[in-house]
Amino acid sequence: MRLGRDKTFWIVVGGLFLLYGIFRLGVVGLLTTVGALLVAITVHECAHAWAAEQLGDPTARLMGRVSLNPLVHLDPMGTVMMAVTAVMGMGIGWGKPVPVSPHRLRYGPRLGNGIVALAGPAANLLTALALGLVLRLLPGSLFGVGGVLATVAFTNIVIAMFNLLPIPPLDGHSVLLGLLSLSRSRIAWQVSQFMLTLQRQGPMVLIFVIILTQLAGFNLIGWLIGPPTRLLFRIIAGI
């Protein structure tokens, strides 16, 4: 289904989500949550593109992806999932994948791609750190600004921790492959081969993990990223 050809459908769906979101979160809460997701995903994808450029692959730059304009990073289905996340408090969202030619990267395709992958979560954590410093200097909850900044900081940490999971197609998978490429041991080679086998299954691995754990009544993703996210948020924001 294409957004351009089905405008009426998407307007209706968007309107329903908007009404429910306002009912559940309020106007300010909905705008803050969606805005925080847009900031986090834009920073994340822009960092990937910038890192690839620094390592010798100009593909993303030539496609205009080294930009903090959220419109160049939004993926239609990922945006819908962001709306679900914001309104329902469940689900995931994602941006348009940054095109990278691993064989053009400095340090080789494995390590170079790992560095590019790590740049996204690192940028989210740096954004959260910058906002945390502002929160610590901000006098009280200045007209609610503190709450907005705290939400944006927390969302950036969540995006970083989620993407660092070593499950394809998340960044953590490429980061782990990059780290394994530094070792010449047999076990590193065996783990790399297993990770590459998972990679060939694409997003289905992640979807399978999410669905299976939800059916089992155990939120594995939340259990893995929840504690480090809360700890980092307390350290960074002092809240």
Please indicate, yes or no, if residue 171 is contained in any of the structural domains.
Answer: yes
> Quick one: pLDDT at residue 17?
64
Range of the domain at 86: 7-237
pLDDT for position 112: 96
Residue 120 lies in a domain: yes
Quick check: is 195 in a domain? Answer: yes
Task: Return the axis-axis angle of helices 171-180 and 186-199, rounded to nearest 10°.
Answer: 150
Q: What's the distance, CA 67 to chain centroid?
A: 16
Per-residue pLDDT in tens (0 to 9) along the chain, 239 residues: 444 455 566 566 666 666 766 666 677 777 788 888 889 999 999 999 999 999 999 999 999 999 999 989 987 766 666 666 656 555 566 788 899 999 999 999 999 999 999 999 999 999 999 999 998 887 665 567 888 899 999 999 999 998 999 988 899 999 999 999 999 999 999 999 999 998 888 778 877 877 777 677 777 888 888 899 999 999 998 87
Question: What total of structural domains would you count in the chain?
Answer: 1
Which 3 state secondary structure label does DSSP give 183?
coil
C-alpha 192/C-alpha 9 separation (Å) is 44
pTM of the model: 0.84
Q: What is the pLDDT of residue 49?
A: 97
Assess contact for 37 and 155: CB atoms under 8 A: yes
Say how far apart CA 43 and CA 66 lie, in whole Å: 10
Report the candidate in 201, 175, 64, 51 with the shortest Cα–Cα distance to residue 118.
175
Does residue 198 belong to any structural domain of this protein? yes
Other Cβ atoms closer than 10 A to 147: 15
Q: Give residue 110's identity as a one-letter amino acid code.
A: R
Whether 2 is in a domain gets the answer: no
**1 falls within a domain:** no
Active site residues: 45
Q: At 200, is the secondary structure helix, strand, or coil?
A: coil
Q: Quick one: tokens of 131?
A: 């906002």
**Closest residue by Cα to residue 41 from 1, 90, 83:** 83
Closest of 175, 180, 205 to residue 191, by C-alpha = 180
Contact 32, 146 (CB under 8 A): no
Residue 74, Cβ neighbours under 10 Å: how many?
Answer: 18
Residue 190 is classified by DSSP as H
Asked whether residue 157 is assigned to any structural domain, the reply reads: yes
pLDDT for res 223: 86
Establish if 46 belongs to a structural domain. yes
